[in-house]
Amino acid sequence: MSKIKILHMYADMLDLYGDSGNMEILKYRCSKRNIECIIDKYSIGDDMPYFPEYDMIYIGGGADLEQQHISSDLVKCRGGIKKAYKNGSFLFLICGGYQLMGKYYRDADGNEIKGLGLFDYFTVAPSSRKKRCIGNIVVNTEITGNPVKVVGFENHGGQTQGVKTPFGSVLYGNGNCSKSDAEGYFEKNVIATYLHGPMLAKNPEISDYMISYCINRRSDTHIKLTKLNDKLEKDCRRVMLERLLNK
């Protein structure tokens, strides 16, 4: 039986717009295939975990206040997260988690929160709190080898710049910056995105991309995932795509 170990960081603080649902979905899709999915949690005050033992590290999004609270703790984890990433652990990052892996995040009042600097991008929030990118979003991504239209919900003030390898192109909504063409950040073992909803709810291909990566990352033979019945998920996405794209 295959096994995946996930570290869900700051689950008690960074959980906007259903972000914890992503863990529930991954666990569900693993259980349907008899893949053991262990999800450990780490938050402020817990013992420092050994990051490289995890196949995936997951961080969700939070309000500014919560983000400030965790940022100094996150800095302590920098070495461990970096090592895990270099060893091929998957980094799955939503909104705040996405922002904090870049160089810095400057909030609406001009306070700079230092990021972990794993990646080159940086994020600046406009001084007006009212200028936020809010709403449904459709992103076309080719990470699985085939084009997939991913549907989610974005709500962020921060404008992320300096991304060279985005997760996908925006078909509807804003993306990294207000009305931008690109959304998120991607490497073969990194998906960083502004999509909430949760992101995986109606996009089973993305879940399976990550599960497949995790169970195969250490082996020479490629284990193919068994197909699941995703009718509800795909109907769900179809309804939204028809509504958002066929105007």
Residues noted as catalytic: 95, 196
Q: Please state the closest distance from residue 133 (CB atom) to another protein, in A.
A: 12
Nearer to another protein, 163 or 200 (CB): 200
Size of the site for another protein (CB under 8 A): 34
Segment lying near another protein (by CB under 8 A), choices 10-18, 92-100, 140-148, 167-175: 10-18
Write the DSSP symbol of residue 196. Answer: B
Cα separation, 117 vs 114, in Å, equals 8
Q: Is residue 202 at the binding interface for another protein, with CB under 8 A as the rule?
A: yes
Measured on CA atoms in the order 169, 85, 219, 39, is the torsion positive or negative?
negative
The single residue among 34, 45, 128, 146 that binds another protein, judged by CB under 8 A, is 45
Q: Please state the closest distance from residue 239 (CB atom) to another protein, in A.
A: 6
- Can you spell out the DSSP letters for 154-184? EEE--EEE--SS-SEEEEES--SSTT-SEES
Nearer to another protein, 75 or 236 (CB): 236
Segment lying near another protein (by CB under 8 A), choices 49-57, 74-82, 183-191, 226-234: 226-234
Classify 242 as helix, strand or coil.
helix
Q: How many CA atoms lie within 13 A of 44 on its CB side?
A: 13
Cα separation, 18 vs 151, in Å, equals 14
- Residue 78-117 contact track with another protein, rule CB under 8 A, x = bound: ----------------------------------------
Q: Is residue 40 at the binding interface for another protein, with CB under 8 A as the rule?
A: no
Measured torsion, CA atoms of residues 211, 216, 217, 218, in degrees rounded to the nearest 10? 140
Segment lying near another protein (by CB under 8 A), choices 77-85, 110-118, 186-194, 196-204: 196-204
Q: Show contacts with another protein in window 16-35 (CB under 8 A).
A: 17-18, 20-21, 24-25, 28
Angle between helices 21-31 and 204-216 (to 10 degrees): 70
Q: Is residue 232 at the binding interface for another protein, with CB under 8 A as the rule?
A: yes
- What's the Cα-to-Cα distance from 29 to each of 14, 32, 86, 121, 229, rounded to whole Å? 23, 5, 26, 32, 10
